[in-house]
Amino acid sequence: MTNVMKIDKLAIAILMTIFISSCHQKYNNTVSQSKGERIYFVSELNSEKIKSLDKEKTIVLLTGGILEEHGPYLPIFTDGYWNEKFRDTLAKTIASRPDLNVLIFPTIPLGNSGANEVGLKYSFPGTFTVRFETLRSIFMDLATELGEQGFKYIFVIHGHGAPNHQRALDQAADFFNDTYDGKMVNLFGLNPVMEKWFSVQMTEEQKKEDGFSIHAGMTETSSMLYIVPNLVDTNYKHAIPLTGNDMNNLIHIAKEPNWLGYFGSARLANREFGKEAWNKNVKDYSNIVMNIINNKVNLDTISRFGNLMKQSPVDVMLDSLSNIGEQRRRTIQTNWLNKKRLK
């Protein structure tokens, strides 16, 4: 083994240790006070404790967080911070039912299709995504492990607005349900969930300036001012509005050579708006989850965001171009594997 390979392996080992340690510390800081409510972190349990859990009464929470550019003012883990906060709140809501356990997995910082793809930019500073089939395989593999160990209820919390991203998670959930006769739900793949994200009343002036803002505008910046204010660059107050009225407008904006990576008007953001949106979302989403757990709704009757987006020609076009970009990356990787005669 060369010295370079030894250094690379050491670096990877150090990074993984730091990542696992940070996840462990974050869990202890957020919901450790709820351990008496039967909330468990899989990273802290031994095999005997896992074996002893009543699989029919244990709700597994798989949380994701795409690493995606959010312009110059927000952290690239913006979606992940939102997902983690909701996960922690949801865990307490589920555990308030005395017969249920909650099993929380470490956050998976992987997702598909960054917002930069709206501008047909398939490499952009701050976006570190995986291919559609990679994301699907990761969650299918985890679903397989959980299913073969007898777990029956899984909720994926992976808020991110790319249709292909949500379709990958939908397919992983469908695989689990068909194969293990369980109930795996990709929560943000449900259209009633996605369409309510940040659905708080704006003034007419705010609506006009923020426009059709799907990424890092007023609402998302407000949410981060509430959740992780220390990670928001204070220059957001001086952000130039990049206002579009529909998806075609946003494509035009994002294709500009010097596009900064956001849409809408971040300068309008404020913590109180973010707090109000958060509280509304938590109430609505928690009710949906509990209704699913309590068999008060039929999942087959709930429309899916990924399917709805297939009715939008512009979104279908963007998805198709994204697939071409992924095929290019897949070819590069496959050619290398073939050259090295690796499988």
Read off the pLDDT of residues 86-118 as tens digits, 9 standing for 90 and up: 999 999 999 999 999 999 999 999 999 999 999
Looking at residue 175, its pLDDT comes to 98
For the residues 184-198, what does the mean pLDDT come to? Answer: 93
Looking at residue 343, its pLDDT comes to 75
The answer as to whether 173 is a domain residue is: yes
Q: Could you give the number of structural domains in the chain? A: 1
At residue 261 the predicted structure's pLDDT band, cuts being 50, 70 and 90, is very high
The dihedral formed by the CA atoms of 218, 219, 222 and 223, expressed in degrees to the nearest 10: -160
Give the SS3 label for residue 154: strand
Place of tokens 């983690």: 84
Q: Is it the case that residue 7 has pLDDT exceeding 90?
A: no
Q: Tell me how crowded residue 238 is: count the other CB atoms within 10 A of its CB.
A: 9
For the residues 200-221, what does the mean pLDDT come to? Answer: 94
At residue 15 the predicted structure's pLDDT band, cuts being 50, 70 and 90, is very low
Report the DSSP pairing between strands 101-104 and 153-157. unpaired
Q: Tell me how crowded residue 167 is: count the other CB atoms within 10 A of its CB.
A: 24
Q: Is it the case that residue 285 has pLDDT exceeding 60?
A: yes
Which of 79-83, 132-136, 196-200 bottoms out in mean pLDDT, i.e. has the lowest?
196-200
Looking at residue 20, its pLDDT comes to 47
For the residues 153-178, what does the mean pLDDT come to? Answer: 97
Q: How many helices (H) and strands (E) does the chain have?
A: 12, 5
Looking at residue 31, its pLDDT comes to 53
By the 8 A CB rule, do 267 and 190 touch? no
The answer as to whether 213 is a domain residue is: no
The answer as to whether 28 is a domain residue is: no
Q: Is it the case that residue 292 has pLDDT exceeding 60?
A: yes
Looking at residue 17, its pLDDT comes to 43
The answer as to whether 203 is a domain residue is: no
For residues 262 and 71, give the distance between their C-alpha atoms in angstroms, rounded to a whole number: 5
- Mean residue pLDDT of the chain comes to 91
For the residues 50-76, what does the mean pLDDT come to? Answer: 97
By the 8 A CB rule, do 66 and 160 touch? yes
Q: Tell me how crowded residue 15 is: count the other CB atoms within 10 A of its CB.
A: 10
The answer as to whether 254 is a domain residue is: no
For residues 191 and 187, give the distance between their C-alpha atoms in angstroms, rounded to a whole number: 9
Q: Give which of 146, 62, 184, 162 is closest to 112, Cα–Cα.
A: 162
Q: Report the amino acid identity of residue 313.
A: P
The answer as to whether 214 is a domain residue is: no
For the residues 170-186, what does the mean pLDDT come to? Answer: 97
Looking at residue 201, its pLDDT comes to 87
For the residues 245-262, what does the mean pLDDT come to? Answer: 97
For residues 65 and 107, give the distance between their C-alpha atoms in angstroms, rounded to a whole number: 7
- What CATH number has the domain bearing residue 109? 3.40.50
Dmax (CA) for the chain in angstroms is 64
This prediction has a pTM of 0.89
Looking at residue 73, its pLDDT comes to 98
The answer as to whether 9 is a domain residue is: no
Which domain covers residue 293, as residue numbers? 33-194+280-315+322-339
Q: Give the containing element (helix H, strand E) for 35.
A: none
HSE of 207 in the Cβ direction (CA atoms, 13 Å)?
Answer: 6
Q: Give which of 47, 48, 159, 45 is closest to 102, Cα–Cα.
A: 45
The answer as to whether 200 is a domain residue is: no
By the 8 A CB rule, do 147 and 180 touch? yes
Looking at residue 36, its pLDDT comes to 56
For residues 151 and 53, give the distance between their C-alpha atoms in angstroms, rounded to a whole number: 9
For residues 332 and 340, give the distance between their C-alpha atoms in angstroms, rounded to a whole number: 13
Looking at residue 75, its pLDDT comes to 98
pLDDT tens-place string over residues 115-164: 999 999 999 999 999 999 999 999 999 999 999 999 999 999 999 999 99
For the residues 12-26, what does the mean pLDDT come to? Answer: 46
HSE of 306 in the Cβ direction (CA atoms, 13 Å)?
Answer: 16
For residues 49 and 195, give the distance between their C-alpha atoms in angstroms, rounded to a whole number: 39
By the 8 A CB rule, do 310 and 320 touch? no
